[in-house]
Amino acid sequence: MTILHTLHWVQFAGTEKVCVDLCNELSKEHNVFLLTSKHIKPYINDKVNLVEIDFEKNRYNPLFLFKIANIIKKINPDVIHVHNTKELEVMYNARIFLKKKIPIIATKHTLTPKKKFALADLAVGILEETHSIINSNNSIIIKNGMAYKEPKILPKEEKFHIISAARLTPAKGMQTIIKALSLVKFDYEFSIFGQGEQKEELQNMIKELGLENNITIVGFVDNLNDYLASADVQIIASIFEPFGLTAIDGIYYSNVLISTNTGICADILDKNLIFENTPEALAEKLTEIYNNYNFYLEKFEKIKERKEDFSIEKMVEQYVQAYKSLIK
């Protein structure tokens, strides 16, 4: 099967990671093309055929659409899989230049309602919440999966090590974690992994609270799995999540994961691992974990038994079935 994926590159975050993992795994048995920015190149394997394109161009420009149509003709895919609304419109409009109608499948990775998903022959929600806002007569749910990499345990200090990984925006709740840590009475180190426009604001907050010796904004790393496996606790403090891919990282690698009641965490975590999204509630939860660590280890170990539900192999199998259902 020849599959054409399209991705509007912003930065390497959740949607991009899902797309990359899916392309890499599919390329083991299928002919995979990825239409996106050159910035994706370090993340894809040699079997994925990268076609560099800039989706920032006008999606209604006939010359741009004609160019896209010619790319599609050359590749001649059995199915087109889009990961953002912008390319969905581009691929749909480019079909006016094609004699052969190639089916389009579109994955809804966010919680922002978009009427354009009705343009897809099949729309995919990654959770019930995303599925419920898809404006399509033909839609299914396929939960995100991830490709497992054996972690390396890193050396650590004696301090209780807390970790959080997310885009640095207010919706991800890093400010809540920092405020909560200013309230706890035990010794800790907190590592923040991620990039974004809130970085300076968070650095100022850390300084104002006098936490420079305890909190570090590390930035982006390629081996997050190593850090998760080496830390004592992972925190997800998002106000809302369409899915929460770092939760799947946590299920595979973390010793203990706690989260707000959102995304996939709301479905899979024990109530003892969920906290109310306030600094005071999080500080109380962290103190409980510090004082009763083995109890929380056991609670999360039971959650980790379900990790195969979120394997890349299971996700790929479901997408292949979806592709085949569209090919006539």
pLDDT tens digit sequence for 240-296: 876 667 888 999 999 999 999 988 888 889 999 999 999 999 999 999 999 999 999
- Among 91, 83, 3, CA closest to 47: 3
Q: Is the pLDDT of residue 225 over 80?
A: yes
- pLDDT-derived band at 130 (thresholds 50, 70, 90) equals low
Assessment of whether the complete model's pTM goes beyond 0.85 = no
Q: Is the pLDDT of residue 134 over 70?
A: no
- pLDDT-derived band at 114 (thresholds 50, 70, 90) equals low
Note the pLDDT of residue 122.
92
Rg (CA), the chain: 21
Tokens of 82: 């889009």
Residue with tokens 């109890």: 295
- Among 117, 291, 151, 119, CA closest to 221: 151
158 CB-near residues (< 8 Å, 6+ apart): 187
Q: Judge contact between 96 and 300, C-beta under 8 A.
A: no
Domains and CATH numbers, the chain: 2-146+311-326 (3.40.50.2000), 160-309 (3.40.50.2000)
Q: Is the pLDDT of residue 174 over 90?
A: yes
**What is the C-alpha separation between 233 and 297, in angstroms, rounded?**
9
